[in-house]
Structure 1
Amino acid sequence: MKLMWEYSLRNKKLLILNFICVFGFIGIELGLPTLLAKMINNGIVKKDISYIQSMGILMLGVVLFGIILNIMLGYFTSRITTNMIADIRDDLFEKIQGYSHQEYEEIGVSSLITRVTNDAYQIMLFMQNILRIGFTAPMMFVASIYLVVRTSPSLGWYVLGSLPFLLVGVVTIALLSEPISKKQQKNLDKINSILRENLSGIRVIRAFVNEKFEEERFATVNKDYTDSSKRLFRLMAVAQPAFFFLFNIVMVLIIWSGSIQIEAGSLQVGNLIAFIEYIFHALFSFMLFATVFMMYPRAAVSANRIMEAFAMEPLIESKEKTAPKTKTKGIVEFKNVTFAYPGATETPILRSINFTARPGETVAFIGSTGSGKSSLIQLIPRFYEVSEGEVLIDGVNVKDYPLEFLRKKIGYIPQKALLFSGTIADNLRYGKEDATTEEMLQALEIAQAKDFVSRLEKGLETQVSEGGTNFSGGQKQRLAIARAIIRQPEIFIFDDSFSALDYATDAKLRACLKKVTTQTTTLIVAQRVGTIMHADKIIVLNEGEIVGTGTHDELLANCSIYYDIAASQLSEEELKK
């Protein structure tokens, strides 16, 4: 409840108006039976037509006012809950943005999506019931019980006698529903996970003709979710008939006992009718509150999952201070860096890495699959934290930079080119928000993307589908490279970003890039020797260690691992050059 009240209290004015409407609504609901009793006792029994008419008009006015209050109550409740859930989602999304890769892996992307969407929605449903029923029902119940006892203490015992049975039923259902709710939400996480995998990997699934297998896998998880939902709904379905059964028994006993008292002259007809109305409000309010109470375990599960996401502190924290001033721009230095993925018990991915890259230099990394190339360059923008040693930029440890400042110094192009939905221009402005059309075209030209973009009917305004699936792999890579180029960073990091390009396009792109990176540090991870053979410095990695450093020619002569890689890709004539 702490999370729910913390966010609902952000709307204090609306909450006050909500309370006013609640009190007004209760007064009207309980005032009507009192007016009805007076109409019967003083008007109908005594056949006073004028009194009946005046009371009828008064009751009509009260009913109309009650309708207005009910509408206002619904409006204020909706405003509070929608504002509250919007704030929760905004804050949770902001929190998630600060997560490192470790937190994403620990919670799971699918689970985070469920927490932002479904869990927040469950809280909204619960708070809507709390603000409309949770406040109204207890006060209505207390006021009704008071009027019941005041009207006829002897009949009031029937109501009070039924309360223990109601309480036992409510608590039992609440205790049984909590574990089912937890299981239901976990099953929903699994559904989201499989659905996400299926949609993102649909081409692979179709290529291997595994649609049937995926359907069966989804059906299994969906059945688990359905079963837990059925158990929860069956449990809830038992509550209402049980309440009404008890309610009807109480009403029969009261009418029977009340008729005896009327016959004896100790109770008036109008008072009995008012009494029945009070009992109805008392028991019905209790039943409504019990329904809200039974919803609490499910909302509590959702709230705890959201609080868990809020409570998780990012492994990589940004320094909350001004950026350090440096004399140089773009010098990257690794000093005795050792790295192991968080939580891993295996040997480190990288061990004792030392090198320096300066502005104007192109430093390339090559090695067999799993040698640690991508892991190494991901330490520069602090996607992961080094286990030992230091990563320095311009002589300052990357840990001492504010993350935003650090990452603005870097133009990072990952292995998998990712484009966002929107236009090509929108994607390019992701690199530089105020980029002009001229700057975008220049970046596209350097990235060898200008030709195919210009052939598109809408050019820069061409729509990009989610993930850029309406472009080929090579086109996506070139657009991703253009997005980094337009940023004009101090350091370029190409993480195997030329793999989808043909050799001719690769060569043209690197030649154009060389002209605009004379004052920029360029780091390239590559599998193809042809991509990096003209680099100023090539670093060869093997099983997480540097086994060779030098130019292409020097490594061919001095590094057997590099020679083997080159020999597998180049002809004998190219090796001898």
Structure 2
Amino acid sequence: MKYLKQFLMRHKGKTALAILLLLGQVVGTLLIPALVADIVDHGILQGSMNDVLRIGMWMLTVTIVSTGIAAFGSWITSDLSSLFGFEMRSLLLQKSQALSLQQFEAVGISSMITRTTSDIINLQRTMGMVLQMVVPAPILVLVSIIMTTIVSPVMALIQLVFMAVVLVLAAIILKKSNALSSSIQTKLDRINQVVRETVTGVRVIRAFGNEKYEESRSGAAYKEYADNMIRLNRLFAVITPVVWLLMGALMAVILGVGGALSLGGGMAVGQITAVAEYSILTMAYLIMAASVLTTLPKARASLERLRVLLDTKPTVSDPSHTPMTPLPAPYETVKFDHVSFAYEGAEEPVIHDLTFTLRSGQTTAVIGSTGSGKSTLADLLLRLHDIQSGHILLRGVDVRNLSQQELREQIGFVPQKAFLFSGTIAENLRMGRADATDGELWEALRIAQAEDFVKKLPKGLGSPVAQGGTNFSGGQRQRLAIARALVKKVDVLIFDDSFSALDVRTDAALRRALTQSVTAPAKLIIAQRVSTILNADQILVLDQGRPVGSGTHHELLETCPTYREIAESQMQKKEA
């Protein structure tokens, strides 16, 4: 609830205006029955056409004004609910970027999508309905009872009895719906997960002929969600017909008792009409409020899911600002100093007491078997995780003493799985440096061996890129991702197995262009293929997260059995 309260406090002026307008609508609504009673008793029954016209004009005026106030109030409440959705989505996006990779994976992409879409839509809808239907209800009901009491205490007592029945019924249904509403959003998470996997993995599903299994798996997720929704809707379906039944019974009682009082001279006919209208208004607003209240358990569950995520404290956070001190060249751009790291819940560290240095203008390569911790080094340098012991220094400053933005501005990163964003090639390349010129983009493409195929595209740099870059081949995506990192102009370039989708000829040409044209940054190449790192200034060999060798290619062939084994196995595969 605190995020909702904070939002309403930030926009208290607009919130107060919305409530004021809604109260104006209530006043207009309450005036109509009084005018109806007046026109019946003093106009129609007295045969006075002038009074009929006079009071009728007042009724028309009140109706027009209250309708205008209601329309403006609805516009304000809609604006408030939309603004709330915008701010909550912004907070969720900021939080998703602030969480560590482990925290984000614990939430899950599907759950994050559900929170950003369904949960916030539930809250927006409920907020609008609460402001328009629930907030005016207590005032309207209270004033209706007071005005009815002035006319006839007996009628007011009848109203109170029927209202109490409606409120008890609503309370019972709300209590029973709480558990169901909470579970429904979790079921929706599962649906999003299944749908996302089915859509993104459609090629694998078809290749394995696994359509029937996926249909069964998806059907099970849909059925669980549908069963819960059916149970919830059946529960809510009870309240409307019961309330309508109570409203009919209330009208019958009011007309019966009112008729008896009227015959005895205790009430005027117009007063009976006014009381009947007050009763209808009271029950109508209670019906609307009750229908809105049935959405509250689901909204509360959605709000709680958002609160849990927004209150999650990132495990990687910015310290008090410590400015970087530029060092004269040549300098140690990056130094891993006795670094150890273990994932949360892991029995063994994935990196053990690792020490090595990346120097400006030099290429450092890391190689090792699968699971040896190679890619983890890139995550640690980018500070996507925090190390448990040791230090990682960037230009002499511990990365934990730098803001994450300041740190990552100094690093160009090419991930193992090249990912492009929807838009154009130019927009993707300028992701790291928005002011890069077209000439700089073409130079980065030339170095990345992507210039030729981009020039052949009809729109060149303006060519469209599908979500994830799916309209390009794997090799083209990798080269575009490399060009994107080169455009950034940074101190450190990280290539996390970024040449795996390239053929040997393109790989060699790209490495040659990097050596000739990208001389200033320190380069870290994480590789599986020995051929990719033959000319590296230093090669670090990892085995189960431990350094087992360091040196050039020729030095390691003589001194490191692990490296020699990797090199010989790849050579044998090539010969085979």
The 8 Å contact of residues 367 and 526 in structure 2, kept in 1 or not, is answered as yes
Q: 3-state DSSP class of the match of 2:571?
A: coil
Find the aligned partners of 1:539 and 1:80 in 2 and give their Cα distance. 57
Find the aligned partners of 1:19 and 1:527 in 2 and give their Cα distance. 65
Find the aligned partners of 2:382 and 2:150 in 1 and give their Cα distance. 73
The 8 Å contact of residues 322 and 401 in structure 2, kept in 1 or not, is answered as no
Tell me the alpha carbon deviations over residues 120-175 of structure 1, each in whole angstroms, 9 at most, x when there is no partner.
11000110011101211111111111111111111222112223322221111111
The 8 Å contact of residues 81 and 128 in structure 2, kept in 1 or not, is answered as yes
How do 1:54-73 and structure 2 match up within 5 A?
A: 54-73=54-73
Tell me the alpha carbon deviations over residues 64-103 of structure 1, each in whole angstroms, 9 at most, x when there is no partner.
1122112111111111111121111112212221111021
Query: What does residue 226 of structure 2 align with?
Result: 226
Query: What does residue 4 of structure 2 align with?
Result: 4
Query: What does residue 545 of structure 2 align with?
Result: 544
Query: What does residue 430 of structure 1 align with?
Result: 431
How does the TM-score come out when normalised to structure 1? 0.97
State the AA in 2 paired with 1:192.
N
Q: Which runs of 5+ in 1 are unaligned?
A: none
Find the aligned partners of 2:25 and 2:510 in 1 and give their Cα distance. 72
State the AA in 2 paired with 1:46.
Q
Give the deviation of 1:176 after TM superposition. Answer: 1.0
1:203 and 2:203 equivalent? Answer: yes
Query: What does residue 254 of structure 1 align with?
Result: 254
Give the deviation of 1:22 after TM superposition. Answer: 1.4
Query: What does residue 263 of structure 2 align with?
Result: 263
Give the deviation of 1:370 after TM superposition. Answer: 0.7
Find the aligned partners of 2:560 and 2:196 in 1 and give their Cα distance. 44
Aligned CA distance change for structure 1 residues 249 and 558 (closer, same or farther; 3 Å): same
Identify which range, 423-432 or 511-520, moves more after superposition: 511-520
Q: 3-state DSSP class of the match of 1:355?
A: strand
1:361 and 2:369 equivalent? Answer: no
State the AA in 1 paired with 2:365.
A
State the AA in 1 paired with 2:130.
I
The match for 1:335 among 326, 334, 337 is 337
State the AA in 1 paired with 2:10.
R
The 8 Å contact of residues 18 and 73 in structure 2, kept in 1 or not, is answered as yes
How do 1:153-232 and structure 2 match up within 5 A?
A: 153-232=153-232
Q: Which runs of 5+ in 2 are unaligned?
A: none
The 8 Å contact of residues 412 and 492 in structure 2, kept in 1 or not, is answered as yes
Tell me the alpha carbon deviations over residues 204-241 of structure 1, each in whole angstroms, 9 at most, x when there is no partner.
22221212221211111011111111111111111111
Query: What does residue 272 of structure 2 align with?
Result: 272
Give the deviation of 1:10 after TM superposition. Answer: 2.8
Query: What does residue 244 of structure 1 align with?
Result: 244
Q: 3-state DSSP class of the match of 1:425?
A: helix
State the AA in 1 paired with 2:14.
L
1:132 and 2:132 equivalent? Answer: yes
Identify which range, 457-466 or 392-401, moves more after superposition: 392-401
Give the deviation of 1:440 after TM superposition. Answer: 0.4
The 8 Å contact of residues 362 and 535 in structure 1, kept in 2 or not, is answered as yes
State the AA in 2 paired with 1:272.
I
Give the deviation of 1:485 after TM superposition. Answer: 0.6
Find the aligned partners of 2:196 and 2:294 in 1 and give their Cα distance. 32
State the AA in 2 paired with 1:106.
A
Query: What does residue 458 of structure 1 align with?
Result: 459
State the AA in 1 paired with 2:358.
A
Aligned CA distance change for structure 1 residues 571 and 42 (closer, same or farther; 3 Å): closer
Aligned CA distance change for structure 1 residues 557 and 573 (closer, same or farther; 3 Å): farther
Tell me the alpha carbon deviations over residues 378-414 of structure 1, each in whole angstroms, 9 at most, x when there is no partner.
2111011112111111221110111111111111111
Q: 3-state DSSP class of the match of 2:294?
A: helix
Query: What does residue 53 of structure 2 align with?
Result: 53
Aligned CA distance change for structure 1 residues 211 and 330 (closer, same or farther; 3 Å): farther
Give the deviation of 1:330 after TM superposition. Answer: 5.7
How do 1:285-296 and structure 2 match up within 5 A?
A: 285-296=285-296
The 8 Å contact of residues 184 and 228 in structure 1, kept in 2 or not, is answered as yes
State the AA in 2 paired with 1:229.
M
The 8 Å contact of residues 413 and 495 in structure 2, kept in 1 or not, is answered as yes
The 8 Å contact of residues 540 and 546 in structure 1, kept in 2 or not, is answered as yes
Give the deviation of 1:283 after TM superposition. Answer: 2.0
State the AA in 1 paired with 2:55.
M
State the AA in 1 paired with 2:405.
E
Tell me the alpha carbon deviations over residues 317-357 of structure 1, each in whole angstroms, 9 at most, x when there is no partner.
0224153213156621111111111232x211111111112
The 8 Å contact of residues 330 and 520 in structure 1, kept in 2 or not, is answered as no
Query: What does residue 445 of structure 2 align with?
Result: 444
Give the deviation of 1:572 after TM superposition. Answer: 11
State the AA in 2 paired with 1:288.
M
RMSD: 1.6
How do 1:82-93 and structure 2 match up within 5 A?
A: 82-93=82-93
How does the TM-score come out when normalised to structure 2? 0.97
The 8 Å contact of residues 134 and 292 in structure 2, kept in 1 or not, is answered as yes
State the AA in 1 paired with 2:487.
I
Q: 3-state DSSP class of the match of 1:569?
A: helix
Tell me the alpha carbon deviations over residues 231-263 of structure 1, each in whole angstroms, 9 at most, x when there is no partner.
111111111111122222222112111111111
Query: What does residue 518 of structure 2 align with?
Result: 517
The 8 Å contact of residues 261 and 267 in structure 1, kept in 2 or not, is answered as yes
Query: What does residue 473 of structure 1 align with?
Result: 474
Find the aligned partners of 2:547 and 2:28 in 1 and give their Cα distance. 82
Identify which range, 352-361 or 411-420, moves more after superposition: 352-361
Percent of pairs identical after alignment? 40
State the AA in 1 paired with 2:424.
T
The 8 Å contact of residues 324 and 395 in structure 2, kept in 1 or not, is answered as no
State the AA in 1 paired with 2:333.
I
Tell me the alpha carbon deviations over residues 168-193 of structure 1, each in whole angstroms, 9 at most, x when there is no partner.
21111111111111111001001111
